[in-house]
Amino acid sequence: MKIRAAVLRQMHRPRPYDESRPLGIETLTLDPPGEGEVLVRIAAAGLCHSDLSVIDGNRPRPLPMALGHEGAGVVAATGPGVRDFAVGDHVVLVFVPSCGRCRPCLEGRPALCEPAAAANGAGTLIGGGRRLHDENGDPVNHHLGVSCFADHAVVSQNSLVRVDKRLPLDLAAVFGCAVLTGTGAVLNTAGVRPGEDVAVIGLGGVGLAAVLGAVLAGARRIFAVDLLADKRDLALSLGATDAIDPLQEDAVEALRGLSDGGVHHAIETAGSVKALEFAYAVTRRGGQTVTAGLAHPDHTLPLQQVSLVAEERTLKGSYIGSCVPGRDLPDYLALYEAGRLAVDRLISHRLRLEEINEGFERLASGEAIRQVVVFDD
């Protein structure tokens, strides 16, 4: 079938992106779903820094590539061997399709699925191969097994979680990355307990989802740290207790003073070495620093090694919030429906596919929280 998709053919295009237009809206051929695969009519797709990091070259991927990894839609067809999904099901797409058989999957850590990591890096589906071709018949790579900046996508059944049809699909899309990653980093990776202090550094969609997670966990004080005042104000309205400008004089000392020597957990979501250094600096003795931000592969963190030992510190990475999507995503949706996880407040813009370059310029400049491309029926 013919589809319309946002395709990246060259990284490192100069900003502003609304002028250089790194993403082209192309007509592609989408093959039917193969064994264990599902055709999804995409209803909505969120713009995330993981997409932006491919556009700006911080996260190199094979090109050309149809971008988009945070989405939701309706099952339009199923391939052979699909038993758990039916035409008409509403689904959220997950960008790590766990195989269920490798060692990390068997250990209950599907975010670290080894075949998924290999497929995502190669631009293929987890079952192998590509289902996208351009007008010349040349293959187009998949982004994280999803490629949902398109009106339709073929994905592995292991990239899907069924959701209640009552849930608006533009909202459901945000759960597939921002909520799983941010809220999961707090609840799963950090394991925040009631009464502990938490700092969240970087208040994009993932960071604000982490703030919501800290509220849910019963944190005593929640420090919202970002360069932009508007984002700090939004975090306060979502339940953060304190807002910190990291550029203010003695910001680290100020936060450590307010938290009696540092926070129990610092969650970094900005994807920069400076942000992670700040997060480590505001973590108390015996505390935990968690990073969910994706920096350039060449960037390294200078670290005082002795503090890890003498202060019994922990520095951890968190990928997709250390989540088990089939378990956690329904729980987070239920919490939203119960009024305890205000994910709807994270959506700052809704746009058409043709406006996607303008959306990425807003994301790069920090103007937006979560923007969602909405597709017509």
CATH number for position 196:
3.40.50.720
Q: Is 9 exposed, middle or buried (0-12, 13-18, 19+ CB in 10 A)?
A: middle
- Within this chain, do residues 274 and 366 fall inside the same structural domain, yes or no? no
Phi, psi for residue 73 in degrees, rounded to 5: -170, -160
Residue 20 lies in a domain: yes
- Asked if residue 194 and residue 160 are part of one domain, the reply reads no
Q: What angle do CA 71, 99, 59 make, to 5 degrees?
A: 55
Query: What is the CATH number for 349?
Result: 3.90.180.10
Query: Is the domain of 132 the same as that of 265?
Result: no
Q: How far apart are CA 309 and CA 194, in angstroms?
A: 26
The pLDDT tens digits along the chain (377 residues) read 999 999 999 999 999 999 999 999 999 999 999 999 999 999 999 999 999 999 999 999 999 999 999 999 999 999 999 999 999 999 999 999 999 999 999 999 999 999 999 999 999 999 889 999 999 999 999 999 999 999 999 999 999 999 999 999 999 999 999 999 999 999 999 999 999 999 999 999 999 999 999 999 999 999 999 999 999 999 999 999 999 999 999 999 999 999 999 999 999 999 999 999 999 999 999 999 999 998 888 889 988 899 999 999 999 999 999 999 999 999 999 999 999 999 999 999 999 999 999 999 999 999 999 999 999 76
What is the Cα gyration radius of the chain? 20
Residue 115 lies in a domain: yes
Q: Which pLDDT value is given to residue 268? A: 98
> Are residue 190 and residue 258 in the same domain, yes or no?
yes
Domain count, the chain: 2
One domain for residues 142 and 98: yes
If asked whether residues 183 and 158 sit together in one domain, one would say no
Q: What is the pLDDT of residue 351?
A: 97
351 and 251 co-located in one domain:
no
Q: Are residues 210 and 91 in the same domain?
A: no
Report yes or no on 300 lying in a domain. yes
The reply to whether 329 falls in a domain is no
For residue 247, is it within any domain?
yes
Chosen domain end from 278, 304, 319? 319
Alpha-carbon distance 319 to 50, whole Å? 12
pLDDT value of residue 82: 97
Burial class (CB in 10 A: 0-12, 13-18, 19+), 100: exposed
Residues 296 and 356 in one domain: no
**Residue at which a domain ends, from 272, 287, 319:** 319
Q: What is the pLDDT of residue 296?
A: 85
Do 196 and 313 lie in a common domain?
yes
Provide the residue range defining the domain that includes 358: 2-166+342-374
